[in-house]
Amino acid sequence: MARKTTRSPEVQLPPQEELKRLKLSPEVAHYLITRGIPLPTCPPLFKTPEPGELLATARFDGERVDKVIAAFRRLRHTQGQWAGRPLNPDPWQVAYILAPVFGWVKRNRARRWVRVVRVLYVEVPRKNGKTTTCGGIAIYLTAADGEQGAQVVAAATTADQANFVFAPIKQIAERSPALKPYVKALAKKIIHKATGSYFAVVSSAADAQHGANIHGAVVDELHLHKSPELVEAIETGTGSREQPLVAKITTADDGKPNTIYARTRKRIEELARRVIKHPATYGVVFAAAESEEHLRELGLDPFGTEAMRRANPGFGISPTQEYLETKASEARQDPAALATYLRLHLGIRTKQVTKYIALSDWDTSAGLVDEAALAGRRAHGGLDLSNVEDITALCWVFPEAGGDSYQVVWRFWLPEDQLKVLNKRTAGSAEVWAREGWLKLTPGNVIDNDAIVKQIDEDAQKFRVVTVGYDRWGATDVVRRLGDGGLTCVPISQGIASMNEPLKSTLRLVKGGRLLHGGNPVMRWMVDNLAVVSDSSGNVKPDKANSGDKIDGVSALMNALKEAMAVQEAEKAPPATAPAPPPGDDRNLWRPSERLTI
């Protein structure tokens, strides 16, 4: 598609291959070169098409970008080593945010030139100037965009976050000499006197809808919004403006599905891959890789400089290399800090708040488990019965003779009517699991306890079952029937005191390659979902509330392993010494080993 442009033919652009690698449009590259701005060296992982690629009527207006940058430079930093210096955008901010958003224009129905982009999405790791970018855009839309009576808002989820968002922008307005004469900063609002425009923070959908005629909005840390109502109210409140802009700027989330962040991120990826087209939406995602697996496929060390550079466009300035190396060192030594490091500093979405078992370690520990060869072996069971509409898990742990190692086998059940729901949550994997036999479906929309009891009875005929550990919640009927059948069922508390030892032992065993699990794909998904919670003493337990999705198989493993370890400890204890018999007691004479020969 031919694009109308104001590019000068005498300006030498980089080769097309280089522009493609840097994910720069010819128009933006031309703008950077003619303004003496260095080309960036850190392209985003995802970048949606610029309007000029999708819209034949779009034009790139470099003077509009000049105006935005000039406005930024009249503002002043308020914190740290840059306090008092101009808010001069970095080359990557111009190339990937300001120029594509403010430069592309089209004629509206009134024949006026207006911005094409109405929704901006920027995902970037911490310490890359995200707050500064938010502040500059908010103030520009309020005081320099030429809009009369502009209502510009920032979305916050709580009163505390509202202050966190508003305070830095208020400081910029108060401490920038070129801006201060034109604005009035109040406790909760910044007013541009010449146009009657204002900037304020809203923390509820009702606030956003009240008298809504929104020209601009900044949604800082989109992943913190548990509900979409506030953001949706802001977006619907822009309908009567000619060129509104809603900027969503965030770090990566912890992998929870079906959130407004998850839906938005998915849409940006689909736009970047050209699966769908929408010229009014533009976004970039900076990250070292799409996932931990992708990071390994790229051959990148998560703690190395190359991964840091790929994720952080401001690398070396903000954040500094020393800062990131410190965070990497902490994550290398503490598994509980790894997920935070990957998410906040490498931009990688994790499946849990606190990553405890690395998938690479789990995969390495898989080994080969031959269930037929386990027949007759001593086994300890662990049962986790979920609610009637979800997954139930059974785990058998087989201690290896004379060593601190185990083989493990799982059974998983799901009501058949719930397969579509789980399939959606697992990106189509659940159907494969069911087809291959890893996940057993029971008829209807509730779990079938008969199927569970029948399978355990069959396993008890095959294995030498010693005990079955279970969580008291929801296990009454199944456990009663198992007990009636002769199995020893042991209730196990799911509290931190009870779960700490088996969970820490699981991590140790996995890292040492002494928990052979055969690579069960359902369990692998659950391990990737696992989050843990810890107390002040460093004790840990699985955290179902903050896990990315289901972890029933992990809970079943904890119950089984706790039983196995308890029995092994009892076997290691020295036998109790019997008290000496009282005088005249001849019981010892009749023990087989001590009988007298007469």
pLDDT, mean of residues 72-94? 86
Cα(397)–Cα(384) distance, rounded to whole angstroms?
A: 14
- In this structure, is the dihedral angle defined by the CA atoms of residues 317, 319, 321 and 323, taken in order, positive or negative? positive
In a domain, 7, yes or no: no
In a domain, 202, yes or no: yes
Q: What domain count does the chain have?
A: 3
Backbone dihedral region for residue 258 (phi beyond 0: left; psi -120 to 50: alpha; all else: beta): left
Q: What is the pLDDT of residue 1?
A: 36
Alpha carbon distances (Å) from 148 to 13, 140, 145, 152, 168: 39, 13, 9, 12, 24
Decide: residue 295, CB within 10 A, 0-12 exposed, 13-18 middle, 19+ buried.
Answer: buried
CATH code, domain with 423: 3.30.420.240
In a domain, 594, yes or no: no
- 511 with 401, same domain: the answer is yes
Percent of the chain with pLDDT over 70: 91
In a domain, 582, yes or no: no
Q: What is the pLDDT of residue 593?
A: 33
In the block, tokens 């958003």 appear at: 101
pLDDT (tens digit per residue) in 500-515: 999 999 999 999 999 9
- 329 with 373, same domain: the answer is no
Average pLDDT score over the chain? 88
- 98 with 171, same domain: the answer is yes
- Asked if 556 and 393 count as a contact pair (C-beta separation under 8 A), the reply is yes
Cα(471)–Cα(5) distance, rounded to whole angstroms?
A: 67
- 273 with 387, same domain: the answer is no
Closest CA to 553 of 362, 395, 431: 395
- 205 with 310, same domain: the answer is no
Q: What is the DSSP string of 288-320?
A: S-SSHHHHHHTT--TTSHHHHHHH-TTTTTSS-
- 160 with 203, same domain: the answer is yes
68-77, 418-427, 526-535, 572-581: range with lowest mean pLDDT? 572-581
Decide: residue 363, CB within 10 A, 0-12 exposed, 13-18 middle, 19+ buried.
Answer: middle
Structural domain span for residue 325: 292-339
pLDDT (tens digit per residue) in 363-414: 999 999 999 999 999 999 999 987 667 899 999 999 998 768 999 999 999 9
Backbone dihedral region for residue 141 (phi beyond 0: left; psi -120 to 50: alpha; all else: beta): alpha
In a domain, 11, yes or no: no
Residue type, 24: L
- 312 with 440, same domain: the answer is no
- 304 with 428, same domain: the answer is no
- 509 with 372, same domain: the answer is yes
398: helix, strand or coil: strand
